[in-house]
Amino acid sequence: MCGIAGILRWGGPPPERSEITAMTEALAHRGPDDQGVFQRGPVALGHRRLSIIDLTGGKQPMEEGQVCLTYNGEIYNYRHLRRQLEERGHRFHTQSDTEVLLRAYQEWDLEFVHHLRGMFAFGLADFRRQRLLLGRDHFGIKPLYYRLEPGYLAFASELTSLLQVQDASPRGNLTAVEMYLRFFYIPAPATIYHRVFKLPPASLRVFGFDGSQTPPRQYWSLHFQPDPALEGTAAQEQVEATVQAAVEAHLVADVPFGVFLSGGIDSTLVALCMSRALNRPVPAFSIGFGEQGYSELAYAQQAARTLGLELHQQILQPESLKILPDLVSHYGEPFGDSSCIPTWYVSQLARTQVPMVLSGDGGDEAFGGYYSYLHWLQRPKHLSTYLGQCLRTPGRTYGRQLLAYLGYLTSPHPYHLEEWQGWIPATSRQLRRRLWRPEYRYLLEAPCPTFTQASRAAQGFDRLGYAQYLDYQTYLPGDILPKVDIASMYHGLEVRTPLVDVQVVELAARLPARQRIHTGVSKRILKEILGQYFPREFVHRPKQGFSLPVNHWFRPGGQGRQQLTALLAQPPRHLTTWLNPSQIGQLVAENDQGTDRGSGLWLVLVLGLWLDQHPGVDFS
């Protein structure tokens, strides 16, 4: 697990060593064990290393013949690929998966990504073909940002690294601010900056040394095609065996490791599989809250006792928000998922014991765990029901919702994107309309191409598969995975996600919908598996999630309230130009009265902190 960076310049002088060095040093927290820089002609590559496999070998950037690679991630089937490549005549000098990836490219050219099982982001310079290749794993577990300007391309694992390039700062992207307020994150390929992009998951992009380029090429996509044979005990056994195999594949490491244990279904299942694969107690790490209704720590303790785990735990208090400004800086752009705070602390806790952990992230997307899926499946069946909802929504939104529903009824497609977006956990259009000043409300009409494209691609799936596919294209790579990556790599901790494994996900997509959700029971098949080891009250309790009690912490005297008050006393440039201060005050008053407005206030606080840290960004 590492941090990578690179520059390609054309039509001018080559990259300066000071540029790539500064970009690489900005990623030092991602790779505290080693660093390296490569320069040749128009290309400069940088690398920071967190050593997990082949501690003494595998130094990067790695050069072999006319190819040089800087790579972040883990290839879980690298030993199998190595044997294949050796049979084809390749000879290896290290035990690292980095060399396997490099030689796989030499053997199979651009098709080499089809052989990879893992999490990865890379920049690969091919001097024979005079091109630079950027690539990202199937689900976007590992981040990759790039900046494309006249005369050069720069790429990196984090946005802050891209700002080290010796050039004018990129302009701000105001539409991205609306997307942030709409979804809590900015969906790929957009970022908070113009001309700076996220490479979408399962994508390659090729840039010629002469400045020529091709659009991102998608090399893999997920298809929900239920297999009627996957029923009953046979389906349960196959899922359990596949998850077990994925966990064991993710345990390949030359360093100690542990597990994030929330006490929920997914992390408990991963911990169970780890316990079965190992002959020693597994270190487990859990975070709880003092506020009733937010902490699952008692369930994590129960899971640890049952599985014989070595549990390390911590209770978060409102004072935990003191790290928020620093964390906002590390995310590089506004990021509104408040669970990044407990993720930061559980990563800090884990790093005191181990450099690598497994987590249960991705189980909700694969096996139908979100409440939004239940709501989506229980859609309004009668026009009168929907009209009643519309009448309770004042203003132009009423007409818009009614037209959307009528369009849904007459649409040739079975699923309507606006209907789905009504169920996902985003801020309402009504709330955003209140926040934006009138001259900026045109942004409410801005479409999100990522959602639109995903909706078109998923029209042939069953209703549950449609919703899950959209989350795989948007929420998982835009929110869940970057939240964990940034918060964990802040501490130099590698987090592996066996439930976001291509073999697990492809099997889950073949399950009939009733194996994922049935009669209101989400993640049915996982609960049946776990029910063999845990009592019913553990397995079938309501889903809780990993959310921060922000509505409590924004009450008078709370740490969130103090930070927001301080921010609004001298608001940063742009914040009150775009947003209406009186409406922010109204949100505070509503939160004090017991109406949960914590999410909206959290979004304002994070946006304000980011703007305060980037006063020179031009959004005109």
Instruction: Kindly provide the residue ranges of all beta strands, DSSP E only, lying in 464-587, ordered along the sequence.
Output: 494-496
65 in Cβ contact with 102 (< 8 Å): no
Residue 501 CB contacts under 8 Å (≥ 6 apart), including other chains: 76, 117, 246, 249, 250
**Who contacts 67 (Cβ-Cβ below 8 Å, separation ≥6)?**
102, 105, 106, 124, 125, 126, 127, 128
Identify whether the C-beta of residue 164 lies closer than 8 Å to the C-beta of residue 23.
yes
Contact between 107 and 90 under an 8 Å Cβ cutoff? The reply is yes
CA distances from 313 to 276, 321, 345, 360 (A): 22, 18, 10, 17
From 2, 68, 273, 340, the catalytic residue: 2
- Contact between residue 529 and residue 499 where contact means Cβ atoms under 8 Å apart: no
Q: How many helices (H) and strands (E) does the chain have?
A: 29, 17
- Report the SS3 class of residue 318: helix
**Separation in Å, CA 250 to CA 79, 263, 487, 497, 577:** 13, 20, 20, 8, 48
Instruction: In whole angstroms, give the CA distance from residue 67 to residue 331.
Output: 31
Phi, psi of 566 (to 5 degrees): -65, -40
Helix (H, G, I), strand (E, B) or coil at 154: strand
Residue 538 near residue 262 (C-beta atoms within 8 A): no
116: its two tokens = 């990879």
Residue of 267, 131, 147 lying closest to 195 (CA atoms): 147
Select from 74, 196, 204 the least CA-distant residue to 132. 204
Per the CB < 8 A criterion, the answer to whether 182 and 426 are in contact is yes
CB 288 within 8 A of CB 313: yes
Tokens encoding 552: 């409590």
In the annotation, is 273 catalytic? Answer: no
Q: Cβ(580)–Cβ(439) under 8 Å?
A: no
Amino acid at 268: T
| Among candidate residues 13, 16, 51, 55, the one with its CA nearest the CA of residue 37 | 16
Positions marked catalytic: 2
